[in-house]
Structure formats: C-alpha cells, structure tokens
Amino acid sequence: MDILLPDADAQTAFGARLAAILPSQFVIYLHGDLGTGKTTLARGILRGLGHQGAARSPTYTLIEPYEIGPRRVYHLDLYRLADPEELEYLGLRDLLGEEALWLVEWPERGAGLLPAADLDIGIDYLPQGRQLILKAQNDAASALMAGLARRA
C-alpha cells in the first residue's frame, strides 16, 4: 500500500489515523533516510493513542517507553547503535515478554534481537512531501491495512 503525504502535518495525521486501529501488541518497523519523518510518524501514532506530553526522539537513549492508559509503547531509534548486542545492555530481553506496541526506527541495526515486524513502513522523499510504503508481514497487519483502506 502506497500513501502520498504532502507535508509533516499530514504525516502526523496519518500516524494518528493508524493509531486508531492498532492492536495493543504490534511491531512497526520504520525505514527511511535521515529526515524523512520516521520520528514524525511515530509522534503522530503516540498522539493518536492519547499521549499528551512531549514525544522525544530516542536518538540518544535508544528506547523511550510510554504508558498511555492501559497501553505500553516502546519507541526505539537505533541510528546510533554500533552493535545489536548493545540492546542486551538496555534490557531489551526483559521488555520482549510484555504486551506492547513497538515503533522501531532503523530496525536493521538491531537485527536478530528485535521482535519480528508485523508492519514495515518505508518513507521516501518526494519533490512535494513523502511517500509511505506499507508492507504487511502477517495476517494481522494485512487486516490492519484493509482497515486503513476503508478509512481513506
């Protein structure tokens, strides 16, 4: 599924629309070059889930946890990760058993230690805006994408 978005506000709004249909346990990998808006999309999802406070980029902390009502969300930005094994030192293994929504930027840098993606979202630059390319990795993500298509 390809989605064309004209600006950062549209990207945030799409994230909120996506949040409205996300199950409580789901893994989204966010792919794209620097500056394409992976964090902008993650912020839109967090806002759509009801997060009211600051939604910081976890570029330096690597993992930013959120508790939004009964829902737990982990936002990871692995750009600065030198070795996937560093995730062990951050306690990733302890988090994997929890029911949570995972938003993972630069997932290839944590290969082998991250939970498998339900949905991959690639973000590409366009002359005007961004193109999101959504790829379902299982039946749950396919159903989610069908729900998005109905809401379009």
pLDDT in tens, 126-140: 988 999 999 999 999
Contact 75, 49 (CB under 8 A): no
Say what the pTM is: 0.92
Q: What's the whole-number mean pLDDT along residues 24-28?
A: 94
Query: What are the C-alpha distances in Å from 73 to residues 47, 64, 68, 104, 126?
Result: 12, 8, 8, 11, 29
pLDDT in tens, 82-134: 777 787 777 777 788 788 999 999 999 888 888 899 999 999 999 889 999 99
Number of domains in the chain: 1
- For residue 10, the enclosing domain spans 2-151
> CATH number of the domain that 111 lies in?
3.40.50.300
3-state secondary structure (DSSP) of residue 151: helix
